[in-house]
């Protein structure tokens, strides 16, 4: 094993996700665990938290960490829930106007979930329009953000 690099510094970062971040170094280096010899490393937020924050959880199971994170950003969670509601409503419109019939196992699951949400099938177009209402602003935003094919 070669000698550890000296004067290694973090020069930047990229690809932050809810799981962690990629840090960029000025030269290849190993982690203190002895692994790797790279200029970039993915570091989990939990590793960062353990290294820096007193009392950081010792829990490592995904479900435990998910439970601890569930209330970390209610505004973000609300925004995601609203986007998912809109996706489901728009998809229900597509199902209605396209005469949807499931043809494979994935589509069967979609059909089941839409039935559980009472968004498929509809008695008539009036019921579909009422149950799948999304804001006109959403359609206008899509026109500006998604180019015409």
By percentage, how much of the chain surpasses pLDDT 70? Answer: 94
Q: Is residue 63 part of a domain?
A: no
Q: Among candidates 28, 34, 57, which has minimal Cα distance to 44? A: 57
Burial class (CB in 10 A: 0-12, 13-18, 19+), 92: buried
pLDDT at residue number 71: 62
Is 118 part of a structural domain of the chain?
yes
Please indicate, yes or no, if residue 38 is contained in any of the structural domains.
Answer: yes
Quote the pLDDT of residue 80: 81
The domain containing residue 123 runs over which residues? 74-145
Residue at 34 is within a domain: yes
Same domain, 128 and 96: yes
Note the pLDDT tens digit of each residue in 27-85: 998 888 877 788 998 888 888 888 888 988 888 787 887 777 776 666 767 788 889 99
Total number of domains constituting the chain: 2
Same domain, 47 and 88: no
Domain match, 84 and 27 both: no
């Amino acid at each position: 094993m070669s000698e550890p690099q000296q004067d290694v510094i973090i020069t930047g970062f990229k690809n932050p996700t809810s799981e962690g971040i990629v840090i960029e170094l000025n030269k290849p280096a190993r982690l203190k665990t002895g692994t790797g010899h790279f200029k970039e490393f993915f570091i989990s937020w939990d590793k960062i938290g353990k290294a820096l924050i007193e009392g950081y959880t010792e829990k490592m199971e995904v479900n435990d960490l998910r439970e601890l994170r569930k209330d970390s950003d209610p505004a973000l969670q609300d925004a995601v829930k609203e986007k998912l509601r809109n996706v489901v409503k728009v998809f229900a419109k597509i199902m209605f106007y396209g005469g949807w019939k499931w043809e494979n196992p994935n589509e069967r699951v979609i059909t089941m979930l839409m039935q559980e949400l009472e968004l498929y099938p509809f008695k008539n177009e009036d019921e579909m329009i009422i149950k799948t209402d999304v804001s006109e602003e959403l359609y206008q935003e899509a026109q500006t953000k998604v180019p015409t094919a």
